């Protein structure tokens, strides 16, 4: 089947969206950005195609009447098992890469102890893998680098103690190897992983034995569908070096404008706060960009700033919003300068100010910067769509709602939980249009 793909290479994550010829979104994929743009784009695309495949599974399984009320459980089990298989596959690769790296002369003094320690670490990491993907298990991240890294680090610390091998040597080997592993895309083994996942699923859900053959046939059928990459459009911050030809690149402004329009047809103003920049875009009724403004050279008030704050406070990025929401008192923070953020924070904490009040002030300060960029681009018009990573932060959203109301009155504010894919969505729409021969006209 024809697939139209949009890829958005951001400074922190790379996103892909797959669309069919009727402009329906089939799948989404995301990965952490890395210095090799080709790989980041490739992995995101691959993930989106897997997601597409799952979408097709879901549709197919609905036809298996015998599944009945087991449908949800089955699909959930299948997806988790597939992620587990994917994880195990990369783990094996990581194991081999680490082992190879340990043979480097710089580690000779640790000799066979090291080899044994490594083997011990990986054995335990693999053993713990199923738990990570068990029903209801919480993962801090879905990126291999994060999950494997955290597992490896915890386990190797224990192993190091027992095995008399220095922990930092083990970490060092990991650091050298993860980059190589991350720079490989496992496209060819996907179907095998899926079949293995299916086997696991059927083992785990013995109730399904009577319909196993029927399920297996449907899965095989879906696997037989060729997902043809009909047209790909790339966009994003790293656009200057995107791994696409010129015809296959659209500016991120155009893609974000269109993506927001596709998500919410009545959007007129779009605000996107990403890791390194903030964009305010005005679009017309067809999603065509009327004007745009981005933060100037000073990256104050971008998502990255929250990252610094989180580091400074020693909490996770996703914890900032909830802490800030506990604030009871307004604190005014004037500096959104990333350089001074840490100092101001320490200064205020030392003066005895409350942590959540300070954080609420910081969130407001970021949104104030965004408000200025919005004002610069021509203000806020109904409807207003907020996208990007910071749109998932409740404290930022709350400050934004307040300030929009203060300055522009009652405006409908749209926030899609998948807003991180806005640029990629616009890209995939452009891809579909390119083949249809529509340069810019909207379809919706």
Partner 1 sequence: MNIKDQASTVAEKEDSMWKQKEMINENYELLSTANERGQKVASTFVPGNINELLMCFDFARNFPETNALQNAMRKKSGGMIMEAEKSGHSEDVCTYVKADLGMMMKGNKGPTGLPMPDPDLLMLSYTGCFTFMKWFELVREQYPQCETAMLHVPYQADGNITKNMRDYVVKQLKEDIIPTMERVSGVKFDIDRLREYMIQSQKAEDDLVYVLQSAKNKPSPIDAYFGGVYYIGPIFTAFRGTTAATDYYATLRKEIEARVAAGLGPITPEGVMKEEKYRIVVEGPPNWTHFREFWKMFYDEGAVVVASTYTKVGGVYDNGFRHDPQNPLESLADYCLGCYTNLNLPARTDMLEKYIEDYQADGLLINSIKSCNSFSAGQLLMLREVEQRTGKPAAFIETDLVDPRYFSPANVKNRLESYFQMISQKRDRAA
Partner 2 sequence: MSVQKIVDRCQALYDDLDFNAVKEWKAKEEGRKAIGYMPVYVPREIIHAAGMLPVGVLGGGDQLEVIHGDAYYQSYICRIPRSTIELGVTGRLDCVDGMLFPSICDVIRNLSGMWKLLFKDKYVRYFDAPQTYDDNIGGKFYKQEMQELIEGLEELGGRKITDEDLNNSIAVYNENRNVIDELYAYRSKAPWKALTSEIYLLLRAGMVLPVEEHTELLREYLSAIEKEDRPVRDNCRVVLNGTFCEQPPLGLVKSIEMAGCYIVDDDFMLVTRWLQEDVPTTGDPVQNLADAFLHQSAETAAKYVDTEEAKGNFIVDSVKKYAAEGVVFAAPSFCDPALLDQPMLHTALNNNNIPFTAFQYAENSGQMQPIREQAGTFADSIKLWSA
Under rule CB under 8 A, residue 289 binds partner 1: yes
Q: How far is the CB of 338 from partner 2 (least distance, A)?
A: 12
Q: How many CB atoms lie within 10 A of CB 357?
A: 18
- Contact stretch for partner 1 (CB under 8 A) within 103-111, 119-127, 189-197, 252-260: 252-260
DSSP string, 309-361: HHHHHTS-HHHHHHHHHT--S--------HHHHHHHHHHHHHTT--HHHHHHH
Q: Residue 432 Cβ, how far from partner 1 at the closest point, in Å?
A: 16
Token representation of residue 283: 């679009």
Terminus-to-terminus CA distance in the chain, angstroms?
22
Say how far apart CA 403 and CA 370 lie, in whole Å: 10
The contacts found for 48-51 with CB under 8 angstroms, 24 or more apart, are 48/5, 48/16, 48/17, 48/18, 49/3, 49/18, 49/227, 50/82, 50/190, 51/18, 51/26, 51/27
CB nearer to partner 1: give 196 or 239.
Answer: 239
**Site residue total, partner 1 (CB under 8 A):** 24
Rounded Cα distance between 322 and 65, Å, is 43
- For residue 42, how far is the Cα from the chain centroid? 14
Task: Give the whole-angstrom CA distance, residue 274 versus residue 392.
Answer: 11
Choose from partner 1, partner 2, none: what does 373 bind? Cβ within 5-8 Å by kind. partner 2
Listed ranges 60-68, 115-123, 232-240, 380-388: which one lies at the site for partner 1 (CB under 8 A): 232-240
The CB-of-251 to partner 1 minimum distance in angstroms stands at: 4
User: Of 244, 292, 384, 386, which one interacts with partner 1 (CB under 8 A)?
Assistant: 292
Q: Which stretch binds partner 1 (CB under 8 A): 15-23, 195-203, 244-252, 419-427?
A: 244-252
**The one segment of 129-137, 247-255, 312-320, 326-334 that binds partner 1 by CB under 8 A:** 247-255
436 binds partner 1 (CB under 8 A): no
Instruction: Rank residues 29 and 259 by Cβ distance to partner 1 and give the closer one.
Output: 259
The tokens for 257 are 């404008």
Which span (132-140, 289-297, 358-366, 402-410) binds partner 1, by CB under 8 A? 289-297
Asked whether 278 and 370 are in contact (CB, 8 A), the reply is yes
272 is in the binding site of which of partner 1, partner 2, none (Cβ under 5 to 8 A by kind)? none
CB 149 within 8 A of CB 178: yes
- With a CB cutoff of 8 Å and minimum separation 6, the contacts of 130 are 84
Q: Please identify which residue in 296, 311, 326, 402 interacts with partner 1, judged by CB under 8 A.
A: 296
The CB-of-408 to partner 1 minimum distance in angstroms stands at 17
Helix (H), strand (E) at residue 266: none
Q: Which of 8, 252, 272, 357 binds partner 1 (CB under 8 A)?
A: 252
Q: Which residues bind partner 1 (CB under 8 A)?
A: 237-240, 250-254, 286, 288-294, 296-297, 376, 378, 439-441
């Amino acid at each position: 089947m024809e697939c139209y793909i949009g890829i958005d290479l951001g400074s922190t994550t790379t996103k892909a969206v797959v669309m069919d010829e009727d402009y329906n979104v089939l799948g989404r994929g995301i990965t952490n950005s890395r210095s090799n743009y080709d790989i980041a784009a490739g992995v995101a695309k691959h993930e989106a195609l897997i997601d597409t495949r799952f979408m097709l599974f879901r549709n197919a399984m609905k036809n298996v009447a015998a599944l009945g009320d087991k449908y949800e459980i089955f699909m959930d089990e299948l997806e988790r098992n597939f992620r587990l298989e994917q994880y195990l596959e990369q783990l094996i690769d990581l194991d081999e890469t680490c082992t190879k790296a340990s043979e480097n002369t710089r580690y000779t003094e640790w000799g066979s102890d090291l080899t044994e320690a490594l083997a011990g670490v990986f054995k335990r990491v693999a053993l713990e893998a199923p738990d990570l993907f068990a029903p209801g298990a919480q993962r801090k991240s879905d990126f291999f680098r994060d999950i494997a890294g955290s597992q490896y680090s915890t386990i190797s610390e224990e192993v190091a103690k027992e095995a008399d091998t220095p922990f930092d040597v083990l970490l060092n080997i990991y650091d050298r190897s993860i980059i190589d592993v991350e720079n490989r895309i496992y496209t060819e083994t996907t179907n095998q992983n899926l079949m293995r996942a299916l086997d696991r699923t059927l083992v785990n859900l013995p109730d399904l034995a009577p319909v196993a053959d029927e399920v297996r046939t449907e899965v095989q059928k879906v696997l037989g569908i060729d997902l043809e990459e009909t047209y790909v459009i790339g966009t994003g911050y790293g656009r200057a070096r995107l791994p696409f030809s010129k015809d296959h690149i659209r500016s991120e402004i155009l893609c974000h404008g269109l993506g927001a329009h596709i998500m919410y047809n009545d959007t007129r103003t779009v605000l996107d706060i990403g890791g390194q920049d903030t964009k305010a875009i005005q679009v017309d009724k067809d999603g065509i960009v009327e004007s745009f403004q981005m933060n100037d050279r000073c990256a104050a008030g971008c998502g990255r700033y929250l990252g610094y704050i989180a580091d400074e406070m020693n909490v996770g990025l996703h914890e900032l919003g909830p802490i800030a929401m506990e604030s009871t008192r307004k604190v005014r923070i004037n500096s959104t300068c990333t350089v001074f953020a840490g100092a101001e924070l320490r200064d205020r904490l030392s003066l005895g100010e409350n942590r959540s009040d300070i954080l609420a002030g910081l969130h407001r300060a970021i949104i104030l910067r965004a408000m200025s960029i919005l004002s610069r681009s021509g203000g806020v018009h109904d409807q207003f769509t907020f996208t990007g990573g910071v749109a998932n932060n409740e404290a930022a959203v709350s400050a934004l709602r307040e300030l929009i109301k203060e300055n522009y009155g009652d405006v409908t504010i749209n926030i899609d939980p998948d807003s991180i894919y806005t640029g990629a969505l616009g890209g995939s729409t452009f891809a579909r249009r390119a083949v249809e021969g529509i340069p810019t006209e909207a379809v919706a």
